[in-house]
């Protein structure tokens, strides 16, 4: 079962020089507010970052389902500072253990980026592939390309690292590696001459304690900035971001339309409409029928749908009517004028990109 109460993780930022200069001691930039979230929100972050990797590969849809199924008992149920469940994590083999820490760390960073003015999050490799950017073999790259609400070509690169408090490796070296990967990604994008400018590169390392550890879990990061050049508008990162939402609900056809720059074909029959605080939302009611064309398992569509909707996170996810109208009409500038917020209430989880979870 997903944990429902708020959890916090301490946030610690460091100067760029103290991270990148060898033998320098890490220097904090000052106090940062804790990041707050609950099980609904971290599940959303894990789902969206997983789906973002596979947007043109419907056969990997089950990857994010399996990630969510194993997430529910990974977080310990009692500590206000988020902790890993020692019994659950110790039962995993080394490779699976590392993967789980990496997935939940990426989900956490997704939530952080949505709080910092970059609501649209893309997988770096997918972004490059769909902008005809070649990535040299054996090149280290960041995890994400993030875009601001104004659909600007001034983008942000993000690399997420994760480690357990008791595992090997120091925070400084992990942050330095993260920034190095962002620099590599920046060079790849800059040499492609496709009109994007990297204005920020964030390196993160989520350090996870378990319930037996006296010290808190911490989200460490470093945040160097570059100059802003000629600003322009480009809808591609935003479209890829919403494509991951449609992929998540099994609507692979609309995900593909957004990737190709086409208007979506929204079928109201798969949703029910509800009004919340004077805003209308479409809440998922059933899996799109064309999902079955991509489904390559032996289970019937009806069984898949029943299993899908048995998960609390999935059963009540939705999206704003204003977002749907913009994606249906292709009038993407309308999205920039809509004011959404990250907010948790007893009944709802609101996200800054206009998506929602009914609890």
Answer whether 207's CB lies under 8 Å from 167's CB.
no
Place of tokens 């789906």: 51
Quickly count: other Cβ atoms within 10 Å of residue 104's Cβ. 25
Exposed/middle/buried for 212, CB within 10 Å: 0-12, 13-18, 19+? exposed
Quickly count: other Cβ atoms within 10 Å of residue 154's Cβ. 20
- Measured CA to CA, the distance from residue 213 to residue 164 in angstroms comes to 11
Q: Which long-range contacts (CB under 8 A, 24 or more apart) does 67-70 make?
A: 67/103, 68/43, 68/311, 68/313, 68/314, 69/311, 70/100
Domain ranges of the chain: 7-222, 252-358
Each of the 359 residues of the chain gets a pLDDT tens digit; together they read 567 788 999 999 999 999 999 989 999 998 899 999 998 999 999 999 999 999 999 888 888 887 787 777 888 877 799 999 988 888 888 788 888 999 999 999 999 999 998 999 999 999 999 999 999 988 999 999 999 999 999 999 999 999 999 888 899 999 999 999 999 999 999 888 889 999 999 999 999 999 998 899 999 999 987 766 677 889 999 999 999 999 999 899 999 999 999 999 999 999 999 999 899 999 998 888 766 565 555 556 666 667 666 666 677 899 999 999 999 999 998 898 888 999 999 999 999 999 999 98
């Amino acid at each position: 079962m997903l944990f429902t109460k708020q959890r916090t993780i301490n946030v610690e930022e460091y100067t760029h020089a103290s991270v990148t200069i060898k033998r320098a001691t890490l220097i904090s930039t000052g106090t940062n507010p804790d990041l707050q979230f609950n099980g609904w929100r971290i599940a959303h972050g894990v789902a969206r970052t997983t789906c973002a990797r596979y947007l043109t590969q419907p056969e990997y849809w089950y990857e994010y389902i399996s990630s969510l199924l194993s997430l529910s008992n990974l977080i310990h149920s009692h500590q206000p500072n988020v902790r890993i469940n020692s019994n659950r994590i110790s039962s995993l083999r080394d490779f699976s253990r590392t993967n789980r820490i990496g997935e939940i760390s990426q989900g956490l960073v997704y939530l952080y980026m949505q709080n910092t003015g970059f609501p649209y999050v893309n997988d770096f490799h997918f972004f490059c592939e769909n902008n005809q950017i070649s990535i040299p073999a054996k090149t280290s790259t960041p995890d994400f390309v993030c875009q601001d609400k104004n659909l600007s070509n001034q983008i942000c690169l993000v690399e997420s690292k994760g480690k357990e408090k008791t595992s090997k490796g120091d925070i400084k070296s992990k942050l330095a590696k993260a920034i190095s990967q962002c620099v590599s990604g920046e060079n790849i994008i800059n040499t492609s001459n496709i009109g994007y400018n990297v204005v920020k590169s964030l390196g993160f390392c989520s350090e996870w304690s378990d319930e037996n550890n006296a010290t808190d879990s911490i989200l460490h990061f470093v945040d160097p900035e570059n100059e802003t050049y000629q600003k322009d508008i480009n809808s591609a990162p935003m479209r890829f971001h919403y494509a991951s939402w449609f992929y998540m609900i099994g609507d692979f056809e609309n995900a593909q339309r957004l990737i190709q720059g086409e208007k979506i074909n929204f079928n109201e029959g798969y949703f029910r409409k509800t009004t919340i605080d004077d805003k209308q939302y479409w809440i998922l009611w059933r899996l799109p029928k064309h999902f079955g064309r991509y489904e390559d398992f032996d289970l019937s569509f009806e069984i898949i749908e029943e299993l899908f909707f048995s998960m609390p996170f999935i059963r009540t996810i939705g999206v704003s009517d204003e977002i749907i109208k913009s994606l249906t009409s292709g009038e993407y500038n309308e999205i920039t004028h809509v004011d959404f917020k990250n907010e948790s209430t007893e009944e709802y989880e609101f996200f800054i990109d206009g998506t929602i979870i009914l609890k």
